[in-house]
Chain A
Amino acid sequence: MYVAVKGGERAIDAAHAWLAEERRGDPAVPHLSVPQIREQMALAVDRVMAEGSLYDPDLAALAIKQARGDLIEAVFLIRAYRTTLPRFASSRPMDTSAMAVDRRVSATFKDLPGGQVLGPTFDYTHRLLDFALLAETGVPPAPTAPAPAEAMPHVTGLLDRDNLIEPEPRCDDAPGDLTRSPLELPADRALRLQSLARGDEGFVLSLAYSTQRGYGRTHAFVGELRIGRVAVEVELPELGFAVEIGEVELTECETVNQFKGSRTEPPQFTRGYGLVMGQSERKAISMSLVDRALRWQELGEDFTGAPAQDQEFVLSHCDNVQATGFLEHIKLPHYVDFQSELELVRRLRAEATAASCPKEAAE
């Protein structure tokens, strides 16, 4: 009797031990190494790095292993680790036009300077289960071509030269940092993009999809989608010049959207932007659509009440670590509050019964 809440301490220890056992699975099956996850689950690793806001493939792979493949749990592990890291510098703005691309496609021009590069994509695979992978024997080397000597300018830059797209004036203000200061609304575009970049892929995808179906439609074309490695440079005050400290893989999407123009401005295309760490086209495209939908005010469009236009709604709910924590906290004990509700409902019912009782007694 009355043991329900007792023994919390022992229960926690036992639960952790059991969890460790479950994580390992059948010990007769060889365990997964972190390099295996990093190399063969690379897109999961990328997602964890992107939403965890920490570029470290080994740690992300470790987090996936520890989280038993639950990617949101892995993102959470990475975020919690990330907060403990000191910040010793900020990089210079990264130059994505100097990206060493693995993939670069434009949906707006058939050919363009630098050309179209399909890269390692699922796009034209037929989604048939490959049973040969059950007994993987090695992959024949893919054909290679020499790296293009030609530069790969951004498509939006080409449009900009002809004033066909809204200009994106250079801004040297230091952007805000969501992880160091509380989000205050309305948030500027840099902060919105920051929030979307670490937002949940599924949530951002669904919002973007909703704009395509008419809830805040933006008529987006993928001007360009590129994936590749970009150098990270840091300015060292002692040296007085920038030093390359490494490179990261990024996925960048720029959409070109319709804009009707106004009395004062002739029609011009507008921009949506998505940038994600690692390889995630789905996320980058989604992000650029949602970014564009959120810009209705500055572009003088109407607020139609669409969720993707509502920055308070989008920014307050796109973080999956926040969402999952708060959602799952309702499984914590709430006996005290429930007890007070129980008493209230009993009292209200007793009053209601007392009020209707005389009639019943007469029947």
Chain B
Amino acid sequence: MSDYNFAYLDEQTKRMIRRALLKALAIPGYQVPFASREMPMPYGWGTGGVQVTAACLTPHDRLKVIDQGADDTTNAVSIRRFFQRTAGVEVTERTAEATVIQTRHRIPEHPLTEGQILVYQVPIPEPLRFLEPRETETRKMHELEEYGLMHVKLYEDIARHGEIATSYAYPVRVEGRYVMDPSPIPKFDNPKLAGNPAIQLFGAGRESRIYALPPYSDVVSLDFEDHPFVASKADHDCDLCGAGSSYLDEVITDDRGSRMFVCSDTDFCNSRQAEGHRGRLSTEAA
């Protein structure tokens, strides 16, 4: 029972996934149905991303796995271990050194480069799902480029709240054609989707869909001329490395309202601290 194929999936399955990936890259933003397999981790926990990563990995790859931007969150640890066990590939926490990065909910702060692959775990691949629950309908809407409903939703947000009240999984339009769900990344990360030199692959296991952004794709976050898209983050600097431009997690530190803000990207934060950057709450022992 211990001798699974390299990266767990059998070669036929990998070939099927690679075909779906190629199709997805050829039609950026289009959701390609694929014969998702039952993986030894639960649906909704990254089975799509894991299958895409398994289909991409070669023995010479160096893999990084993050969840919420961090390498040491439990599910990231679990997925990294899965590939260490089944593929024996080298792993790293350094964004710049990785050839394949599997991520949940974040795009790393460190700019990606050509030759890198970023694999997103996707829970609900259909950007129109919460406007129209039926797959048969949403597929038709994509076919007909019928995206009016999405604009109405964004408009209603503005009418009610004065701004577009979507803060993550913010819909984008790819190459002027398909509206795409960028997975639940904060909208802060949306600008990094566009013109990215890396290959970006999206895997939704439970929903059996794969989609992709080839390098340097044109990706536009939906907005209106008088209400342009704004990438937002907490209005603070990182309390550990002092970075002012990275996405921050808010950590509650006591029950009297104290809190600190730290980079959600742990590799970015650690690298800055190693370079000597300090934040408000840095311990000088480091």
A residues near B (Cβ < 8 Å) are 1-2, 4-9, 11-12, 76, 79-80, 82-84, 86, 179-186, 312, 316, 321-322, 324-329, 332-337, 339-344, 347-348, 351
In the bound complex, CA of A312 to CA of B136 (Å): 8
Q: Are A321 and B43 within 8 A (Cβ)? A: yes
Annotate B156-174 by CB proximity to A: 1 below 8 A, 0 otherwise: 0000011101011100000
Q: Would you call A340 and B135 a contact (CB within 8 A)?
A: no
Which B residues, 165 to 197, have Cβ-Cβ distances below 8 Å to chain A?
Answer: 165, 167-169, 184-188
Nearest A residue to B266 via CB reads A5
**A326 to B43, Cβ gap below 8 A?**
yes
Q: Is B117 in the interface zone, CB < 8 Å from A?
A: no
Q: How far does the alpha carbon of A326 sit from the alpha carbon of B33 in the complex, in Å? A: 19
- Establish whether residues A336 and B249, one from each chain, have CB atoms under 8 Å apart when the complex forms: yes
Chain A residues positioned under 8 Å from B264 (CB to CB)? 335-336, 339
Interface centre among A2, A79, A339 (most CB of B within 10 A): A339
Residue B6 interfacial (CB < 8 Å): no
CB distance from B107 to the nearest CB of A (A): 11
Additional A-B contacts beyond A79-B38, A80-B40 (11; CB < 8 A)? A316-B135, A321-B38, A325-B44, A326-B206, A333-B68, A339-B234, A339-B250, A340-B188, A341-B167, A342-B250, A347-B163
- Say yes or no: A9 contacts B72, CB within 8 Å: yes
Q: Is B233 an interface residue (CB 8 A)?
A: yes
A182 close to B34 (CB less than 8 A): yes
Say whether A4 contacts B76, CB under 8 Å: no
Bound: A86/B11 CA distance, A: 12
Answer whether A329 and B161 are a contact pair too, CB < 8 Å, given A312-B136, A334-B105, A335-B264.
no
B131 at interface by CB-CB < 8 Å: no
Known: A2-B251, A340-B168. Contact between A185 and B187, CB under 8 A?
A: no
Would you call A344 and B43 a contact (CB within 8 A)?
no
Residue of A11, A182, A340, A344 contacting most chain B CB atoms (<10 Å):
A340
Contact among A8, A76, A329 for B74, CB-based, below 8 A: A8
- Residues in A with CB closer than 8 Å to B43 are 321-322, 324-326, 329
On whether A332 and B45 interact (CB within 8 A), knowing A182-B34, A340-B232, the answer reads yes
Min Cβ gap B166→A in Å is 8
Confirm or deny: B256 has a beta carbon within 8 angstroms of a beta carbon on chain A.
Answer: no
Shortest Cβ distance from A278 into chain B, in angstroms? 20
Least Cβ–Cβ distance between B195 and chain A, in angstroms: 22
Enumerate 17 A-B pairs (CB-CB under 8 Å) in ascending A order.
Answer: A1-B260, A76-B42, A80-B38, A83-B37, A83-B39, A180-B35, A185-B136, A316-B135, A321-B42, A324-B42, A327-B44, A328-B42, A332-B45, A335-B68, A339-B264, A340-B232, A343-B233
Question: A337 is contacted by which of B34, B134, B163, B167 (Cβ under 8 Å)?
Answer: B167
In the complex, are the beta carbons of A5 and B73 less than 8 A apart?
yes
The reply to whether the CB of B274 lies closer than 8 angstroms to some CB of chain A is no
Whether the pair A336, B105 counts as a contact (CB closer than 8 A) is yes
In the assembly, what is the distance between CA of A329 and CA of B184, in Å?
13
| B contact patch SS | loop
Cross-interface CB contact of A8 among B72, B163, B188, cutoff 8 Å: B72
Question: What are the interface flags for B211-247 relative to A under an 8 Å C-beta threshold, 1 for contact and 0 otherwise?
Answer: 0000000000000000000001110000010000001
Q: In the complex, what residues of A have CB within 8 A of residue B123's CB? A: 326, 329
For residue B113, CB closer than 8 A to chain A, the reply is no
Instruction: For the complex, give the distance between the alpha carbons of A335 and B33 in Å.
Output: 30
Q: For A183, give its contact among B42, B208, B232, B233 (CB under 8 Å).
A: B208
B42 touches A186 (CB 8 A): no
Bound Cα distance from A316 to B70, whole angstroms: 32
Contact A185 B135 (CB under 8 A): yes
| Nearest B-chain residue to A77, judged by Cβ | B40
Query: Nearest Cβ distance between residue B92 and chain A, in whole angstroms?
Result: 15
Chain B CB count within 10 A is highest, among A5, A80, A337, for: A5
Q: Is the CB of B35 within 8 A of A182?
A: yes
Partner of A336, one of B33, B42, B186: B186
B residues 127-162 in Cβ contact with A at 8 Å: 134-136, 161-162
Q: Which B residues lie within 8 Å of A182 (CB)?
A: 33-36, 208-209
Closest B residue to A84 by beta carbon equals B4
Given contacts A79-B38, A324-B42, contact A335 B249 (CB under 8 A): yes
* Distance from A331 Cβ to chain B, minimum over Cβ atoms (Å): 10
Cβ-closest chain A residue relative to B187: A340
* Complex Cα gap A4–B68 (Å): 13
Interface residues of B in 29-59 (CB under 8 A from A): 33-40, 42-45, 47
Instruction: Report whether B72 and A7 are in contact in the complex, using a CB–CB cutoff of 8 Å.
Output: yes
Which residue in B68, B74, B234 is a CB contact (below 8 Å) of A11?
A: B74
Which residues does chain A contribute within 8 Å of B184, judged by CB atoms? Answer: 334, 336-337
Q: With A182-B36, A334-B105 in contact, is A343–B167 under 8 Å at CB?
A: yes
Contact assessment for A8 and B73 in the assembled complex, using a CB-CB cutoff below 8 Å: yes
Q: Which residue in chain A gives the minimum CB-CB distance to B206? A: A322
Residues of B within 8 A of A83 (CB): 37-39
Flag if A343 contacts B42 (CB, 8 Å). no
Q: Are A80 and B39 in contact (CB under 8 A)?
A: yes
Q: Which residue of B lies closest to A2 (CB)?
A: B251
The reply to whether A337 and B74 contact each other, CB–CB distance below 8 Å, is no
B203 CB–A CB distance under 8 Å: no
B136 touches A186 (CB 8 A): yes
Q: Which of B35, B38, B250 neighbours the largest number of chain A CB atoms within 10 Å of its CB?
A: B38
Q: Does B96 contact A (CB under 8 A)?
A: no
CB of A181 within 8 A of CB of B35, answer: yes
CB of B78 closer than 8 Å to a CB of A: yes
A83, A336, A348, A351: most-surrounded residue (chain B CB, <10 A): A336
Residues of A within 8 A of B240 (CB): 2
> Chain A residues near B42 (CB, 8 Å)?
76, 321, 324-325, 328-329
